[in-house]
Amino acid sequence: MTSVKRALLFLPALILLALAAAACGGKPEPQPAPAAVAPASTPEPAAVPDPRAVIVVFGDSLSAGFGADPGQSFPDFLQKALDRLGYPYRIVNQGISGDTTSGGLSRISEALAAKPAIVILELGGNDGLRGVPLANIRSNLAHMIEGFQKAGVRILLAGITLPPNYGPDYIKPFDRMYRELAASYHVPLIPFLLRDVALKGADLMQGDGIHPTAKGNEIVAGTVLTALKPLLKK
């Protein structure tokens, strides 16, 4: 057999070997990129419960800080004073401008939901300004005091008085009502919440003669703190 014939016989095998070598040594088929894995999200830290006992200020516009900038109500200043003196209490301000004793009576459950150790009860002024019968005001305040005491809450009762034009026949029994309630239910009393600011300087009261300025509210907070201290624990 000639050399040419032998070459032709081996040619198919050589072609197959070349194809196999090309298949093994050629470029690999492109593979799809692996899907991106999103980084594990960092869980939000759990809110740390505030261990301080709660004092609810349960009142009307005098508690709400009517006419003063946010953060300048007397409960705001009271919180700062408590913090400064190291008393572990947190103020919850539930003052609502325009509220009356009947309104307060309807929202006792809201105050109790805050689980207060102490309630500063500051209502009745708007009732008096509207000339509500004293028996109604007294009854509403009494029911609020009883409701809080039944829940084991200690109370500081904040009294108020009325402008002279309401006449002594209404004002005197109105003022006496707070003293009698405090005595009947054995709760401490601030006879007149604004005693340290009323008629003591134009910069302490707003133009309406009813609501303190921010500076006045800071003084009122001091008045409240003095009466509140016997109820506090460090």
Q: Is 34 a residue whose pLDDT tops 60?
A: no
Return the pLDDT at 188.
Answer: 98
Q: Is 233 a residue whose pLDDT tops 60?
A: yes
Q: Is 7 a residue whose pLDDT tops 60?
A: no
61 is catalytic: yes
Give the tens place of pLDDT for each residue, 115-168.
999 999 999 999 999 999 999 999 999 999 999 999 999 999 999 999 999 999
* Residue of 61, 63, 76, 99 marked active site: 61
Strands 189-190 and 53-59 come out as unpaired
Decide: 194 and 152 in contact? Cβ < 8 Å: no
Q: Is 17 a residue whose pLDDT tops 60?
A: no
* pLDDT band with cut points at 50, 70 and 90 for residue 45: confident
Averaged pLDDT, 209-232: 97
More confident residue, 19 or 196: 196
Tokens of 164: 């002279």
208 is catalytic: yes
* Residue of 3, 41, 109, 208 marked active site: 208
Sign of the Cα pseudo-torsion (167, 168, 169, 174, in order): positive
Return the pLDDT at 3.
Answer: 44
Return the pLDDT at 73.
Answer: 98
Tokens of 139: 């009854």
Give the tens place of pLDDT for each residue, 52-99.
999 999 999 999 999 999 999 999 999 999 999 999 999 999 999 999
Averaged pLDDT, 214-234: 97
Decide: 175 and 182 in contact? Cβ < 8 Å: no
Return the pLDDT at 26.
Answer: 46
Q: Is 15 a residue whose pLDDT tops 80?
A: no
Nearest to 97 by CA among 149, 61, 63, 147: 61
pTM of the model: 0.80
More confident residue, 18 or 66: 66
Chosen CATH of 53-231 out of 3.20.20.150, 3.40.1350.10, 3.30.1380.10, 3.40.50.1110? 3.40.50.1110
76 is catalytic: no
Q: Cα(99)–Cα(108) distance, rounded to whole angstroms? A: 13
